């Protein structure tokens, strides 16, 4: 839900950047299930149901390229979940300039950034030189975020989703829980990656929300201790997002000493759910191989037993 990638694009290229829709893999309006592929490193499983591609763009500026995809899952005419993935490929060019731009966006941006802010529920950060590995978990006042953001220079970034909301008569949640995952390590990749994920608590068995502004919300760190059910639900969200971040670190190739220490946030319940989902997925794949004749019955039984054990 946040705008780090867009802010970087704004600060880097706003005077000369060219935009184009990407047709190779996804187009706006496509309905997808199961997984989304950004590039050869970032492939993410999607929660059950149908997701719609709301925005899909590519940036080109001299040696730099960037890609971005925004997916939304609805329940009826209400937003249930959103996921955005993106990168800017620096190509190892203009290193000093890139370092300056990234620092300004990530650490001196007065509206958002990888530094402690009162509205953040949790911030985890590794930062050394140009390397940044950051996870932010917080809540979002959706109407304000889309129609009246604090940073007015980035308001144009909501144009596509506003158009989609109007076209489909979408009902917005008042408050969503949001996580931002940010990765940049030249030891792993020349790409600056961002993953943003947000959920509507209503569809995830979350407690009812009475207060609907960012500052008054039950999820705001200043208020959350008075609402134990909201704190419990936020901790569950933190646990799931920690797993997403850990998985992305592995896929991108973040070095061990650059990784965040997130296992402390992963509850046994969430870890068990993750393992069960992965086990079911593996068994389905084995079953498909057996049905297609790739595996014999004996090989299938042996492999299935190994997964179950």
Cα distance between residue 185 and residue 293, in whole Å: 43
Average pLDDT over residues 88-95: 85
pLDDT at 2: 60
Whether pLDDT at 12 is above 60:
no
Whether pLDDT at 234 is above 70:
yes
* Alpha helices (H) in 66-136, listed in sequence order: 95-107
pLDDT at 213: 94
Q: pTM higher than 0.95, yes or no?
A: no
Band the pLDDT of 235: cuts 50, 70, 90: very high
Identify which of 129, 66, 127 has the alpha carbon closest to the alpha carbon of residue 96: 129
Three-state DSSP class for 269?
A: helix
pLDDT digits (tens, 9 = 90+) for 190-199: 999 999 999 9
Cα distance between residue 116 and residue 234, in whole Å: 18
Residue where the block lists tokens 């200043």? 222
pLDDT at 299: 73
Computed over every residue of the chain, the mean pLDDT equals 85
The top-scoring range by mean pLDDT among 1-5, 28-32, 146-150 is 28-32
Residue where the block lists tokens 């911030």? 123
Choice among 182-186, 192-196, 269-273 with the minimum mean pLDDT: 269-273
Tokens in use for 159? 């144009």
pLDDT digits (tens, 9 = 90+) for 118-159: 999 999 999 999 999 999 999 999 999 899 887 777 777 788
- Strand 43-45 versus strand 120-128 pairing type: unpaired
Percentage of residues of the chain with pLDDT beyond 90:
57
CB 181 within 8 A of CB 244: yes
Which carries the bigger pLDDT value, residue 208 or residue 267?
A: 208
Angle (nearest 5°) at CA 245 between 157 and 263 = 150
């Amino acid at each position: 839900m946040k705008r780090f990638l867009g802010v970087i694009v704004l600060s880097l290229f706003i005077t000369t950047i060219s935009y184009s829709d990407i047709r190779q893999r996804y187009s706006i309006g496509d309905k997808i299930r199961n997984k989304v592929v950004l590039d050869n490193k970032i492939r993410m499983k999607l929660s059950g149901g149908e997701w719609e591609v709301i925005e899909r763009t590519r940036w080109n500026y001299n040696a730099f390229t960037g890609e971005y995809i925004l997916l939304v899952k609805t329940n009826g005419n209400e937003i249930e979940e959103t996921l955005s993935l993106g990168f800017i490929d620096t190509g190892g060019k203009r290193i000093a300039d890139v370092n300056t731009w990234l620092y300004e966006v990530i650490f001196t941006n007065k509206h958002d950034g990888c530094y402690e802010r009162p509205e953040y529920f949790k911030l985890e950060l590794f930062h050394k030189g140009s390397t940044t590995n950051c996870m932010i978990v917080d809540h979002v006042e959706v109407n304000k975020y889309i129609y009246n953001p604090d940073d007015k220079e980035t308001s144009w970034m909501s144009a596509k989703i506003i158009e989609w909301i109007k076209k489909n008569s979408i009902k917005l949640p008042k408050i969503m829980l949001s996580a931002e995952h940010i990765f940049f390590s030249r030891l792993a990749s020349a790409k600056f990656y961002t993953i943003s994920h947000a959920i509507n608590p209503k569809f995830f068995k979350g407690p009812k929300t009475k207060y609907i502004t960012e500052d008054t919300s039950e999820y705001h760190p200043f208020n959350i201790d008075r609402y134990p059910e909201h704190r419990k639900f936020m901790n569950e969200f933190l646990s799931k997002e920690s797993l997403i971040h850990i998985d992305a670190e592995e896929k991108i190739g973040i070095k061990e000493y650059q990784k965040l220490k997130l296992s402390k946030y992963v509850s046994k319940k969430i870890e068990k759910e993750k393992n069960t989902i992965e086990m079911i997925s593996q068994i389905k794949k084995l079953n498909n191989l057996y049905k297609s004749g790739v595996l014999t019955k004996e090989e299938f039984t042996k492999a299935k037993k190994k997964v179950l054990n």
